[in-house]
Amino acid sequence: MKSLLTLLAALLFALPGVAAPRLVLNSSFFAPITSPAHDGALDLLYAELFRRVGLDVWIQPASAERGLLNANSGIDDGDVSRVLGIEQSYTNLVRVPERVMTYQMVVFTRHADFTVDGAASLRPYDVGILTGWKVLERSITGTRSLQKLETGHQLFAMLAMDRIDVAVIEKLEGLQFVHSMGLQGVKVLEPAYVEGDWFLYLNKKHAALVPRLAEQIRLMKRDGSYQRIFEQALHGAPH
């Protein structure tokens, strides 16, 4: 009976004029990763990815912490991307085991000048990060002060007013904020504070989709569509 219902559902959604089922994913990111215009890198990637498995996807903005909680509780269907292992703390989330992008968390500053070497190199400074970015919340400790802000605009406003010495944020997003806010004299310190892979996470009620999505991400990387999407989304982004 279950297989019959599944077949009937597939036939129904194949009919002209019948909308595909929609999944709602949360995003705490900003342009050029996701954007209100839905033209960010992951907006475009997921539109194509979910189309390939016969689904529609809607990416909605949410704070990093609220987005995780809602995806974990099943209020929403998932989260656009998180670091490896987040499912250990949010146990109702399942990871699609094929990375969707790599990230670099870097240090932005106006006045400080030092070689970034893990958490210890940040301890003499007043540091700002975004609330809910677990890879930073768990590792940055013992600093002179630590401010957790809700938005990137708030984070860079604090940096511009010298309320913090350094801001740690994903590099692409940070460069976009520096550009869009017209900030002068802000530099990126090297090397990256931390770098790694981001993965798509779904609530466990969608666990059956995980192998199909992972396979389609791999296929998109092989057929060149993954690279074309990222080139399109990041074209013209500040570097």
Same domain, 116 and 129: yes
- Indicate whether 114 and 154 sit together in one domain: yes
The verdict on residue 179 lying in a domain is yes
pLDDT at 17 (0 to 100): 57
State how many domains the chain has: 2
Least confident of 14-23, 88-97, 129-138: 14-23
- Tell whether the model's pLDDT for residue 76 goes beyond 80: yes
Tell whether 171 is covered by a domain. Answer: yes
The type of residue at 69 is L
> Based on the domain organization, do 79 and 94 belong to the same domain?
yes
Overall average pLDDT of the 49-77 stretch: 97
78 lies in some domain:
yes
Of 5 and 228, the one with more pLDDT? 228
Residue 25 in contact with residue 57, Cβ under 8 Å?
yes
| Helix axis angle, 210-223 to 225-234, nearest 10° | 80
Q: Mean per-residue pLDDT for 166-186?
A: 97
Residue 1 in domain: no
Pick the more confident residue, 60 or 18: 60
> How far apart (Å, rounded) are the C-alpha atoms in residues 104 and 123?
20
Please check whether residues 189 and 224 belong to one and the same domain.
no
Q: What pLDDT, on the 0 to 100 scale, is given for residue 15?
A: 52
96 and 120 co-located in one domain: no
Residues 110 and 143 in one domain: yes
> Is 9 a domain residue?
no
Q: What is the pLDDT of residue 179?
A: 96
According to the model, what pLDDT value does residue 237 have? 82
pLDDT at 5 over 80: no
In a domain, 7, yes or no: no
State pLDDT tens for residues 7-28: 444 454 545 555 789 999 999 9
Residues 124 and 106 in one domain: yes
- The answer to whether 126 touches 148, Cβ cutoff 8 Å, is no
**Residue 5 belongs to a domain:** no
C-beta of residue 47 within 8 angstroms of C-beta of residue 34: no
CATH code of the domain containing 91? 3.40.190.10
pLDDT recorded at residue 239: 67
Q: 65 near 132, Cβ under 8 Å?
A: yes
Residue 104: how many CB atoms within 10 A of its CB?
16
Give the tokens for residue 157.
Answer: 């406003």
The answer to pTM > 0.85 is yes
Tokens for 211, please give them: 């192998």
The answer on 96 and 203 residing in a single domain is yes
Identify whether 8 is part of a domain.
Answer: no
Q: Are residues 42 and 156 in the same domain?
A: no
Kindly state whether residues 89 and 109 are assigned to the same domain. no
Same domain, 25 and 140: no
Say yes or no: 49 and 159 in one domain: no
Residue 3 has pLDDT above 80, yes or no: no
* Range(s) of the domain holding residue 210: 19-100+199-234
